[in-house]
Amino acid sequence: MTTDFTGSFTQQEPIPPAAIAAATAVMQHGRLHRYNTAGDEVAETVLLEQEFAAATGAQYCLAVASGGYAMTTALRACGVGHGDKVLTNAFTLAPVPGAIAAVGAVPVFVGTTADLVIDFDDLQAKIGQARVLLLSHMRGHICDMARLMAICDAAGVTVIEDCAHTMGATWDGIASGRWGRFGCYSTQTYKHINSGEGGLLVSDDAQAMARAIMLSGSYMLYHTHRAAPPPEIFADIRYDTPNISGRMDNLRAAILRPQLADLPAQAARWNARYAVLQDGLADTPGLYLPQRDRREGFVASSFQFLLLDWTPEAITEVLARCAARGVELKWFGRSDPVGFTSRYDSWRYAPSTPMPATDRVLAGIIDMRLPLTFTLDDCALIARIIRAEVSAVFQAQK
Ligand SMILES: *Cc1c(COP(=O)(O)O)cnc(C)c1O
């Protein structure tokens, strides 16, 4: 019996047959652009927007080209522009500060706790510096949203949610993305539904969503949208808003609709894998598992643990030993950015001052993807490998 893992951490499941059939139908009729419809046909993109609005409980939804585009559009629709400051998480990925920089604004980084949610004390201390918070639910960890909204509402700060890792998730029964003015989602291959690239934006704010629709490049065809504010809302907005094209096409929407219908079932499969890892790693000496509130209805498409206060050499040793056994772990604390992982101080275009408490957490975060191509047995094996290698290095350190 082998004790090494041989699966791939980057291999997602194939596109389901219903999605392939829907995509083939779009390619056969050739009307891929969302505004290219025949007769009374309703575009796949329009249907996806209606279904996603229903799934999240939002009034309005807009399908766009990427999660990053969803965020820049939300920022613009909230009036963020050149030189404005925008609060955001220090623990996030490059597209988040990148979206802020894209509109000419400047990120103000807010720290993270060891449970991988935004640090409320640091947020409170910095809240006066900006009018908008782009809150990243990084790796699917959701903070106490009622408390967050209370802090932001009291300070007059608008919240935009980056839900790239929380599509299908909830806080206290309310969908992630429905607490702030906008929720921004990604349908990129590594997220919860897969169209290669793509994004979705939800809101209940009619004016802001009308601006977002015009921004996305709807020309004067906004009336063909169904999960959109009524045409009269566009009266002035259609003249005042620039077209910054970033629409989603019907091919991607066709691929996504069957996957969206499957999302609750897929979320349960992710969480079953997470539970096996969680059990397998519980009480491992030297290893901290982020705690989750029972109000958090998460979708665990990835797994994190912390090696808090370990030396870089010891962490490097754990990673090397796990890698030798087929378990690919990412380390946020690495001094130089690699692959998808980087730290706030590696985004040199954005000014930052050191945050010692956050640096301590970031230095210890170990991250891994949890693709649904892993079986529950795979997850148990991965947990045994990590447990053994962390324990061996931890013992040797003493
Ligand atoms: C992937 C990702 C995004 C943006 O998604 P794209 O569709 O790749 O632009 C935003 N935030 C986080 C945290 C992400 O991981």
For 104, list phi and psi in degrees, rounded to 5: 80, 10
Q: What is the residue extent of each domain of the chain?
A: 17-256, 263-397
Cβ of residue 93 lying under 6 Å from some atom of ligand 1: yes
70 CA distance to ligand 1 centroid (A)?
10
Q: C-alpha angle with apex 305: 285 to 367, nearest 5 degrees?
A: 140
User: Exposed, middle or buried: residue 336 (CB in 10 Å: 0-12, 13-18, 19+)?
Assistant: exposed
- Does the pLDDT of residue 99 top 80, yes or no? yes
Over its C-alpha atoms, the chain yields an Rg (Å, rounded) of 21
Q: CA 111: distance to chain centroid?
A: 18
- Does the pLDDT of residue 1 top 60, yes or no? no
Out of 117, 185, 188, mutate this one to test ligand 1's pocket (max ligand atoms within 8 Å of CB): namely 188
The per-residue pLDDT for range 38-85, each reduced to its tens digit, is 999 999 999 999 999 999 999 999 999 999 999 999 999 999 999 999
Q: Using 50, 70 and 90 to split pLDDT, how confident is the model at 339?
A: confident
3-state DSSP assignment of residue 29: helix
168 CA distance to ligand 1 centroid (A)?
15
Alpha carbon nearest to ligand 1 atom 14, residue: 164
Q: Which stretch of 154-168, 201-215, 325-339, 376-390 has the lowest confidence by average pLDDT? A: 325-339
Mean pLDDT of the chain: 96
Out of 166, 186, 195, 343, mutate this one to test ligand 1's pocket (max ligand atoms within 8 Å of CB): namely 186
**What confidence score (pLDDT) does residue 338 get?**
72
- In the chain, beta strands by DSSP E: 60-64, 85-89, 106-110, 132-136, 158-162, 170-171, 174-175, 182-186, 199-203, 296-297, 302-306, 330-331, 365-369
Distance CA 71, CA 92 (A): 14
Q: Are 94 and 186 in contact (CB under 8 A)?
A: no
For 144, list phi and psi in degrees, rounded to 5: -65, 100
Q: C-alpha angle with apex 15: 14 to 21, nearest 5 degrees?
A: 135
Report the pLDDT averaged over residues 277-302.
97
**One-letter identity of residue 87:** L
Cβ of residue 140 lying under 6 Å from some atom of ligand 1: no
Distance CA 290, CA 308 (A): 11
CA atoms within a 13 Å half-sphere pointing along the CA-CB vector of 46? 18
Out of 71, 72, 93, 160, mutate this one to test ligand 1's pocket (max ligand atoms within 8 Å of CB): namely 93
Please state which of the four CATH numbers 3.90.550.10, 3.30.70.3420, 1.10.3210.50, 3.40.640.10 is assigned to the domain occupying 17-256: 3.40.640.10
**One-letter identity of residue 262:** D
Cβ of residue 199 lying under 6 Å from some atom of ligand 1: yes
**What confidence score (pLDDT) does residue 336 get?**
72
Q: From edge to edge, which strands make up the β-sheet containing 132-136?
A: 60-64, 199-203, 182-186, 158-162, 132-136, 85-89, 106-110
- Does the pLDDT of residue 90 top 70, yes or no? yes
What does the DSSP 8-state code read for residue 338?
A: B
Cβ of residue 96 lying under 6 Å from some atom of ligand 1: yes
- Does the pLDDT of residue 176 top 80, yes or no? yes
Distance CA 40, CA 68 (A): 32
Residue 72 token pair: 């820049």
Distance CA 319, CA 95 (A): 26
**What confidence score (pLDDT) does residue 2 get?**
59
Alpha carbon nearest to ligand 1 atom 4, residue: 67
Please state which of the four CATH numbers 3.90.1150.10, 3.30.2320.50, 3.90.650.10, 1.20.1050.10 is assigned to the domain occupying 263-397: 3.90.1150.10
Secondary structure (DSSP) of 243-289: ----BPPHHHHHHHHHHHHHHHHHHHHHHHHHHHHHHHHTT-TT-BP
251 CA distance to ligand 1 centroid (A)?
20
The per-residue pLDDT for range 253-278, each reduced to its tens digit, is 999 999 999 999 999 999 999 999 99
Q: CA 357: distance to chain centroid?
A: 24
Nearest alpha-carbon partner for 87 in 186, 185, 155? 155
**What confidence score (pLDDT) does residue 78 get?**
98
56 CA distance to ligand 1 centroid (A)?
19
Cβ of residue 97 lying under 6 Å from some atom of ligand 1: no
Q: Are 257 and 22 in contact (CB under 8 A)?
A: yes
199-203 vs 296-297, strand pairing mode: unpaired
198 CA distance to ligand 1 centroid (A)?
10
